Structures are given as structure tokens and as C-alpha cells.
Amino acid sequence: MVAQVGDDQYTANNVSRALTPPAGIVITYIMKVLNPFVWFQNHSKKFKLFLEWMAHNRGGLPTWLETDPFDKEVGNTTDETVLFVDLGSTRGHQSIELRERFPTMSGRIVIQDQEHVISTVKPPHGIETMVYGFDTPQTVEGAKAYYVRMILHDYLDEQYRKILRNTIAAMTEDSVLLIDEVVLPEFGAAWRATL
């Protein structure tokens, strides 16, 4: 939407010019003044599309399961073990993929999101759902893994630190924190990677 002319330096291009006023003002307002996830609560059709997009936006690319030795990392588990807590999971597409990748691995998988998301999902494979807000203490303690995918980049430093602090407080020595984000080069990132 904008052209990069240097590190942290951007200028308008034809796309940004085409979107300025009134549409450009709306975009700025949503991203900077309102929390988009609060805005979505009153725009359910757009939110449904967003949830679909989140589930497929990295389609065809390798997932974290290709590079993370999850089964070795978690070691022995039982049916009572909380294996995986998926924070801000949307409909739990990553948790479903995890269960399908390791169908015989015992342990509970919990997906967490806002009430208006969780109330619309019924994930397969006995995956549990839980309403959870990032700014509150994590109530599932001592899980083997806490997974945060494409969340932290949406927040200012102090806000995402709070999310991490709430998560870390629930972890034990046996827990791992898995942060799944796209790391971009400072200059010339491919447009698709920036979405």
C-alpha cells in the first residue's frame, strides 16, 4: 500500500493515493484509534471474512510443525497433561493441525479467544475451547506449550509485554513458549509476507 524508500521510511504510491480520502482516513482510524478487534465485534460479517483469511493466509507455506520438534520437546504426556494452549486461536486451525500431525499423542489441547469468537466454534478431536482475554492472568497453568501465532505484532511494546508476562506467570519449568511470527527484513520485504 506504500512504497519503502529507506529503513523505517515510507512514501505514498499509487495504491495509497487511490485509497486516500475518504477511505484512507477510515483505515488510519481503524488501525490507530480503535482496537480493530473491538471494532470487529460490531462488524460481524467483516470479522467472519477476517477469520477465514487468518486460517488460510499462509496456505501452501511451511508451518511451525515443519521446523519445531514438538513431539520431542514435550516428552511424555498423559490424558491429563495440558499439551498445548493456543492463545488468540481464532477457530483453532493450528491446534487442529497439531492434533492431526500427532494423532496418538495424549494430552489436552485448549484454544482461547474472545467470547464472540469462541461461542462460534466447535473444533474437532476433543479440542477444548475457552474464553480468555490477553490482558488477564492466564488461567491454564503448567501447560507443556503456550502458542502465540500472529498476535504480538498487533500490539505496542508495552501491550505485548503484558501478554507475555501473563503467559509466563502460568508456565512451569516444563513449559515452552512458542512464538510464531513472520520476521521481515528491514528493507524490501515481499508484500505477501507483510500481511
In the complex, the residues that contact ligand SAM under the rule CB under 6 A are: 37, 54, 88-90, 113-114, 117, 132-135, 149-151
When the beta carbons of 26 and 195 are compared against ligand SAM, the nearer one is 195
Three-class DSSP category at 34? coil
Q: How far is the CB of 194 from ligand SAM (least distance, A)?
A: 14
Q: For residue 12, how far is the Cα from the chain centroid?
A: 29
Q: Closest approach of Cβ 114 to ligand SAM, in Å?
A: 5
Cβ proximity to ligand SAM: between 147 and 175 the closer is 147
Smaller CB separation from ligand SAM, 19 or 54: 54
Min separation Cβ 121 and ligand SAM, Å: 10
- Minimum separation from the CB atom of position 23 to ligand SAM (A): 22
CB of 74 or CB of 117, closer to ligand SAM: 117
112, 130 contact by CB (below 8 A): yes
Residue 125 CA to residue 109 CA, distance in Å, equals 9
**145-149, strands of its sheet edge to edge:** 128-131, 108-113, 82-87, 145-149, 176-180
**Exposed (0-12), middle (13-18) or buried (19+): which is 37, by Cβ within 10 Å?**
middle
Closest to 130 in 3D by CA, of 176, 95, 180, 79? 95
Measured from the CB atom, the residue of 5 and 38 that comes closer to ligand SAM is 38
CB closest to ligand SAM, residue no = 88
CB 117 within 8 A of CB 90: yes
Shortest Å distance, C-beta 103 to ligand SAM: 22
